[in-house]
Amino acid sequence: MKKVLTLALGLLMAAGASAQWDPIVNPTVPQNMIRYWTGTGDSKAVICITWNDAVAGNVGLAWGVQWNGTTALMRDLMDTIAAYDSRLSITWNSTHTYINNLTYVDTTLGLNITGVVDDMSGVAWWMYNWKDASDVDKPSGGVMGDNVADGDFVDWLPMDPETYETEAAEIIYPASNPNAAPLPAASTFAASDILYWVGTGANQAVLAVNWADTALAWGYRFDGSKTVADMMDDIAEADNRFSYTMDGAYVGDIVFVVAEGDTLRKQAYSWWESKNNGVSDMGMGQTLADGDFEKWAEPAAGVVVDSTYDENYDYWYYTYVYPMEVHPVSDPAGIAEVNTINVCLYPNPAAVVLNVTFDALENNGEAELFDMTGRRVMVRPVAVGSSSVQMPVSQLAEGVYMLRIAGATARVVVAR
């Protein structure tokens, strides 16, 4: 008798009688957080599924589903998601009226998860919470009879077969689109492209700062144990265009003065994120290693590629990628540390055309002109054996520029 009653109770719960058991409820996933919309149509709902995985913990995944019409059957919407996303498998009962189990396999997240299966029945007990667009609970008549409306949020959870309890997700991921175009790649920067090095030593790192519309890079040489704070302090001491402020334990702002009245700083209400070799790090306290690429960036310069809900902090976190091209900062003194060839410029200052002569090149190369923010404003190809090139500067703004050719750099002034 006990087995029959337990199984009957499990089927009732799987059919969705959520209000009777007052289960733990996940936070509503807003539609603007959804990365993968399945189906087509003018009406939209969000469906979240939480698995209690022994390895990954309580993991929630959320999909968007679309359809035409005022309402759609819960059963049809679940089938729509599974039809679009092969990573999700739904095991229905023989009459297609309730769900025996939900399985999800994703090598990207490292997940291969199923529901909690009752040893006696061999069936997982699934139930759901259901809210309208105003976050108000809706009554349930079971999977077969429930009509989901535009703006609804449906929250599927497995029930423990012994205690009839559910557990909220610790982390919720909006499901990714398996057919989406590749995500933009984060920008990188080679030490060989640095125009301005600070410090001395056998080790070297690159510091990049990514403002909303400009990304600049410095080189840093060091010995021994150095942190990001050490690197930024040394660069600020050497380059009076660069400075930063602290807000308690966090970076308040990073500033670069391009010219009088033209200063790069973060946008209002923005903040700074720190990454080392593309991975979020400890910021100012991060220890540097030889070859590191340390980048500070503000979200206004990035592209949102993911979002995650963290139950511990009741907060949605965004993951940003910063694909903006990084430019090497010019040496404020206008003198390169190493010149591999002799370079002569005339006239300098130049108004219309800058003539550049140099030792004949042993390989094909380029003559590059950079403004003082490190932005490349002109490039001219130089063939092997050539010893001169002309650079038209009449369209450039007056000011100081840096010429680089074959490893040599020289200071150029444009004036009229």
pLDDT tens per residue, range 3-58 = 222 223 333 333 333 334 455 678 899 999 999 999 999 999 999 999 887 666 78
**All residues at 6 or more sequence positions from 393 whose CB lies less than 8 Å from its CB, including other chains:** 350, 351, 352, 353, 354, 369, 378, 412, 414
Name the strand (E) or helix (H) holding 9. Answer: helix 2-14
pLDDT at 336: 41
Strand pairing report for 71-73 and 250-259: unpaired
Residue intervals in the chain for CATH 2.170.130.30: 191-302+320-328
* Under 8 Å between Cβ of 296 and 210: yes
- 343-414 has which fold? Immunoglobulin-like (2.60.40)
Helix, strand counts (H, E) of the chain: 3, 30
CA R_g for the chain: 30
Residue intervals in the chain for CATH 2.60.40.3080: 343-414
pLDDT at 118: 61
What stretches of 94-151 show up as alpha helix (H) in DSSP? none
Tell me the C-alpha distance between 393 and 415, whole Å: 10
CA atoms within 13 A on the CB side of 277: 8
Three-state secondary structure call for residue 364: coil
**347 cis-preceded (ω within 30 degrees of 0):** yes
pLDDT at 335: 44
Give residue 319's region: left, alpha or beta (phi > 0; psi -120 to 50): beta
pLDDT at 17: 36
pLDDT at 334: 54
pLDDT at 117: 62
Top CATH class, 191-302+320-328: mainly beta
Three-state secondary structure call for residue 285: helix
Dihedral (CA of 33, 15, 178, 169) sign: positive
Tell me the C-alpha distance between 308 and 79, whole Å: 25
- Enumerate residue ranges in the chain where pLDDT < 50: 1-21, 335-339
Tell me the C-alpha distance between 371 and 311, whole Å: 47
Among candidate residues 32, 37, 320, the one with its CA nearest the CA of residue 178: 37
Tell me the C-alpha distance between 128 and 90, whole Å: 14
pLDDT at 123: 64
